[in-house]
Amino acid sequence: MMAGKLTVISGMSFGQRLALHLVPFTPKKVLLREVRKVQGG
C-alpha cells in the first residue's frame, strides 16, 4: 500500500484524467448535464 499517499486515482485513460482535472473549471450545470448523459439519463 502506498504509505502516506492520500489519494490514488486508478484505471483511467489519459483523456479521462485530463477531463477530471478540468472539473473545477467547468461550469456546474455543464458538468451535471454531461455526467447525467454519461450515466444514461
Partner 1 sequence: MGKVALITGASSGIGRELARLHAEKGGDVILVARRGEVLRQLKDELETAWGVQAQVIEADLVDEKAPRMIFEAVEASGWEVEYLINNAGFGGRGKFHERDWQDERDMMQVNVVSLTALTHLFLPQMVARNSGRILNVSSTASLLPGPMKAVYYASKAFVTSFSNAIAEELHDTRVTVTALLPGATDTEFAARSGMDKTRLFDNAASARSVALDGYQP
Q: Please count the residues of this chain forming the interface with partner 1, following the rule CB under 8 A.
A: 24
- By the 8 A CB rule, do 9 and 20 touch? yes
CB contact set of 14 (below 8 Å; sequence gap of 6+): none
Spatial distance between the Cα atoms of 28 and 2, rounded to a whole number of angstroms: 32
Residue 27 lies near partner 1 (rule: CB under 8 A): no
Q: Which of 8, 25, 27, 30 binds partner 1 (CB under 8 A)?
A: 8
Residue 32 lies near partner 1 (rule: CB under 8 A): yes
Q: Which residues bind partner 1 (CB under 8 A)?
A: 1-13, 16, 20, 23, 31-32, 35-36, 38-41
